[in-house]
A and B are shown apart, each in its own frame.
Chain A
Amino acid sequence: MATFGASTTNVNPNRSAEVASPPSDSVSSLCFSSKANHLIATSWDNQVLCSAWKDDGTTVFSGGCDKQVKMWPLLSGGQPVTVAMHDAPIKELAWIPEMSLLVTGSWDKTLRYWDLRQPNPTWVQQLPERCYALTVKHPLMVVGTADRNLVVFNLQNPQTEFKRVVSPLKYQTRCLAAFPDRQGFLVGSIEGRVGVHHLDDAQSSKNFTFKCHRDGNDIYSVNSLNFHPVHQTFATAGSDGAFNFWDKDSKQRLKAMLRFVTTGAKVLKITIHQQQRPIFTYISPRRLRSRANHGLEQAVGSEVSSYSRGAEVKGKPRAGTSGRK
């Protein structure tokens, strides 16, 4: 894991700063603290797949292929404590401050809720398939599983599925993001497409999908979706090494960040800082060997931070609002 230190000179085209000491292997997840200016990045060198901050800003959770979730009390510098276990690698986790529970999704097709004081899960929720993506905005929680299932939960009633939807996209679900206003969520898939889905069926006419992260005939997957906490805009990161900012209400792309030109760079994750200061961070591995869909890849993780000017990621009004007469 690496924490955000002083920035160094950069080599990438977006004039972003790089983190001083990135992990040695490909970075798997990123998380900003809500309180302090800290960033947690997990990487594959220890097969950690996901991370989350506790809301007090002092403790971090990490879960991965060792099928456990470890809690790291950063302030006291103590040893990590195992707080959760699954039967298969843990793909996603999230801390729910409103319920003081940790929720973890794993490839063993379960979602488990944990009260940190107890060794057993508070509740085990069966999923139709392996968990691939998770997004939580209390009380909305959406879980994306294999075979294009999307399961929506109302955390006020977490023991029943609120709704189960088949993904509006045609291929494997890769990432999810819930709207800040909890009206719906975004789904990203491996086919370079993002779907906007509203929960309320009265608003289902506002559902749509759009294509992104494509380059000629190459269709890259959308690796990460994140909403900007202030403006209702979101960013997507794709395997083509680019990331873009979009406004779903006006259906426009707001900003396209320049793509990485190093071989096989792909943007894996974006985290948008929770505070007002518009920082967002993206990570991209620079592969040393040629890109391959199969086979082991050696990747050097590098995280990059970028300051986005607020105006660039603010939503634009829909065309036609100007009163002409």
Chain B
Amino acid sequence: MPPKKELCRYFQRGSCQYGTRCKFLHTTPQQSQSNRFGFGAQTSSPNPQPNPFGFDTQTSRTPNQQPNPQPNPFGFGVQSSAHSRGGDGFVSKPNQVKPFDNKWSRFSNVNNSSAPASRPANNQPSAANHTCTTDIESCKRVILEDLENEKPLWKLTCYGHSRNGPCDIVGDISYDELRALAYDDAKHGKDIASIVERERNLLNSKLLEFQNLAQKPYPVSSAPTPSSQNMFGGGSIIAPVANNGFSSQVSSFSQLSGSSNTRSAAAPNFSFGQPNAFQNNTQPSSFQTNNSPFNTSGAFGIQPQHSTTQSFSPFGTSSNNGALSAPQNPFSTPASLPQTGNGPGKQLNFFTNEPITASSAIGLTNTSIQLINNIPTENANVDDGVWTKAQWNVGEIPEEEPPTIYIN
């Protein structure tokens, strides 16, 4: 028992340098429970949550009085969980301003030979803590919370639920782009009403995407590698103006596949929204590696004749009973799907035993299919007529991919 009965005032602030050997009492003060954040504002805040820092309208500042237990009282989200401010005292670091540290140039020399891409793969400690495959529930919760509480006023944005993780919703439009577009349209004589109309449509479709995400919060797995370029140039496809119907189709589609796909946690339902999946080489369980996006033709499309639980969602994964070794890369499937001869852009009819109600929703198809151009050709030892059939029945599903001529 320390000799004095006084409370340590530095401990209250979370920064006592004496730690356990401090001669004052290290407990949270009883009478100031209501003043957890000691923020200068004498409001008794009932919520123990991190204080929305920066919201304080006072202009006079006092040094923060942070009680110790909260790791991030002001919403300072410390990313690495390894960093904890133990009760030992929060050592104050002097301003570590090193003028142009040598470390920087050292990395650059190394970079010449070793592929820069491998370097980022190693050093993402914060992102690696989070894998949606293992902890999908908390990811869902994060998504729902975000969409409830953290809705920015600018709606035309991408969104990713995990820091340093890939986007769940792509399709970013910035203020300036919208404005530039509007100015250009005005120059070309469009009247304000139609401009506003177009912008409103953009806004609505984006809001719809977010709503769909909220309803079916299947997050995209965060890759240990940083999201590198979408190999399909997804960003370019989702051009601001052309995005309207397209993106909403994606979302409604993902709902579909989500419903049929309750099991596989890594289900990449955001098939289009998550092109980054391809870059993810190190998660074999969740995504096919990107160097063989089409190789699942064997695995996916072609099932032995189960009559029961084979529900193939066109672009998503199939929920079957472990017949598939790995969840499917959604982009691979179009490769193995026969065209009905209608040509690109039309609906595809899929081989399925269950009625797919959303096959009509899959109008989005073909842009993605177009992208997949290097389809390996294999000799089909089935009648080629199969490929032009409109619908497949059980028993005639071929085991190979269609020859290239039938794609497109």
Which positions 21-51 of chain A face chain B at CB distance < 8 Å? 28, 44, 47, 49
Binds A, one of B149-157, B251-259, B286-294, B337-345: B149-157
Q: Does A96 contact B (CB under 8 A)?
A: no
Given contacts A209-B77, A214-B55, A295-B195, contact A128 B228 (CB under 8 A): yes
B331 to chain A, nearest CB (A): 18
Provide the A298-325 mask, 1 if CB < 8 A to any CB of B, else 0.
Answer: 0000000000000000011111110011
Q: Is the CB of B74 within 8 A of A251?
A: yes
Binds A, one of B122-130, B349-357, B358-366, B392-400: B122-130
Binds A, one of B176-184, B306-314, B368-376, B383-391: B176-184
Q: Does B200 contact A (CB under 8 A)?
A: yes
Given contacts A154-B107, A157-B112, contact A128 B153 (CB under 8 A): no
Binds B, one of A74-82, A116-124, A254-262: A254-262
Q: Does A280 contact B (CB under 8 A)?
A: no
Contact partners of B10 in chain A: CB under 8 A? 319-320, 324
Among B59, B61, B226, B235, the residue within 8 A (CB) of A166 is: B226
A231 to chain B, nearest CB (A): 9
Q: Is the CB of B152 within 8 A of A251?
A: no
Q: Is the CB of B55 within 8 A of A160?
A: no
Q: Is the CB of B108 within 8 A of A249?
A: no
Q: Is the CB of B182 within 8 A of A89?
A: no
A282 to chain B, nearest CB (A): 16
Q: Is the CB of B104 within 8 A of A205?
A: no
Given contacts A162-B107, A163-B120, A191-B152, contact A320 B161 (CB under 8 A): no
Q: Does B17 contact A (CB under 8 A)?
A: yes
Among A170, A190, A218, A320, the residue within 8 A (CB) of B92 is: A320
Q: Is the CB of A181 within 8 A of B100?
A: yes
Contact partners of B125 in chain A: CB under 8 A? 201, 204
Binds A, one of B26-34, B165-173, B262-270, B295-303: B165-173
B365 to chain A, nearest CB (A): 22
Provide the B72-91 mask, 1 if CB < 8 A to any CB of A, else 0.
Answer: 10111111101100000110
Q: Which residue of A lies closest to B158 (CB)?
A: A147
Contact partners of A157 in chain B: CB under 8 A? 108, 111-112
Among A156, A183, A191, A319, the residue within 8 A (CB) of B15 is: A319
Q: Does B159 contact A (CB under 8 A)?
A: yes
Q: Is the CB of A147 within 8 A of B170?
A: yes
Q: Is the CB of B153 within 8 A of A220?
A: yes
Q: Does A130 contact B (CB under 8 A)?
A: yes
Q: Does A129 contact B (CB under 8 A)?
A: yes
Q: Does B119 contact A (CB under 8 A)?
A: yes
Which positions 208-223 of chain A face chain B at CB distance < 8 Å? 208-215, 217-221
In the assembly, what is the distance between CA of A249 and CA of B64, in Å?
13
Q: Is the CB of B192 within 8 A of A294?
A: no
- Provide the main secondary structure of the chain B interface: loop
Given contacts A89-B180, A160-B116, A320-B15, contact A315 B95 (CB under 8 A): yes
In the assembly, what is the distance between CA of A183 and CA of B103, in Å?
9
Q: Is the CB of B179 within 8 A of A165?
A: no
B277 to chain A, nearest CB (A): 14
Q: Is the CB of B96 within 8 A of A249?
A: yes
In the assembly, what is the distance between CA of A210 and CA of B53, in Å?
7
A104 to chain B, nearest CB (A): 15
Which positions 243-277 of chain A face chain B at CB distance < 8 Å? 244, 249-258
Interface residues in chain B, defined as those with a beta carbon under 8 Å from any beta carbon in chain A:
10, 13-18, 52-59, 61, 63-66, 72, 74-80, 82-83, 89-90, 92-93, 95-101, 103-105, 107-108, 111-112, 116, 119-120, 123, 125-127, 146, 149-161, 163-167, 170-172, 174, 176-180, 182-184, 186, 192, 195-196, 199-200, 202-203, 226-230, 235-236
Cross-chain pairs A/B with CB under 8 angstroms, 25 sampled = A47-B183, A128-B227, A139-B104, A148-B160, A154-B111, A162-B107, A163-B120, A166-B165, A166-B227, A181-B97, A181-B99, A182-B104, A190-B152, A201-B125, A205-B79, A207-B78, A208-B78, A211-B53, A232-B97, A253-B61, A293-B153, A296-B195, A315-B95, A316-B63, A318-B15
**Sample of 18 further A-B pairs with CB below 8 A, known A163-B119, A296-B186:** A47-B183, A148-B167, A160-B116, A168-B79, A172-B172, A192-B54, A209-B76, A210-B76, A211-B52, A212-B53, A239-B153, A249-B95, A254-B61, A255-B61, A256-B58, A319-B92, A320-B17, A320-B89
Closest 8 CB pairs of A and B: A320-B15, A294-B199, A212-B54, A146-B172, A318-B92, A172-B157, A205-B83, A201-B123
